[in-house]
Amino acid sequence: MTAVFVVLGAAVGAPLRYLVDRVVQARYGGLVPWGTFAVNVAGSLVLGALAGAGGALSTPVYALVGTGFCGALTTYSTFGYETVRLAERKAYRHAAGYVVLSVAAGLGAAALGFAAARALVS
């Protein structure tokens, strides 16, 4: 049954990732892949909140939201690919800035989600 929850979450997360990426890139464009950045930071926030909620949530919720939804929404492989593409275009500062900003924002979002959920559940 857990696999069904993962599939259901992924069925929402994957198309949402595509749509958010297209909307954000169309609006902001440029060299930096802001769409991937947006979904990765959002996913980090949600995963941080799940971790902060701890035992207050059931296993099916973790499977649905954490593994399924966030697993399909976020993408490390695309982050890596897009960083390499920036470097190939000799946009080294953009590539380095994208890596630093993505990691810092992702960690910050996860910490914020964790703290917020922990405060709500406590």
pLDDT of residue 21: 95
Query: Two tokens at 42?
Result: 């959002």
Q: What are the CA-CA distances from residue 33 to residues 18, 59, 77, 100 (Å)? A: 13, 33, 13, 14
**Distance of alpha carbon 66 from the chain centroid:** 11
pLDDT of residue 99: 98
Q: How far apart are CA 121 and CA 27, in angstroms?
A: 37
**Distance of alpha carbon 50 from the chain centroid:** 13
Q: How far apart are CA 95 and CA 122, in angstroms?
A: 40
pTM of the model: 0.94
pLDDT of residue 122: 83
pLDDT of residue 29: 85
**Digitized pLDDT (tens) for each residue of the chain, 122 residues in all:** 999 999 999 999 999 999 999 999 999 989 999 999 999 999 999 999 999 999 899 999 999 999 999 999 999 999 999 999 999 999 999 999 999 999 999 999 999 999 999 999 98
pLDDT of residue 96: 98
pLDDT of residue 7: 98
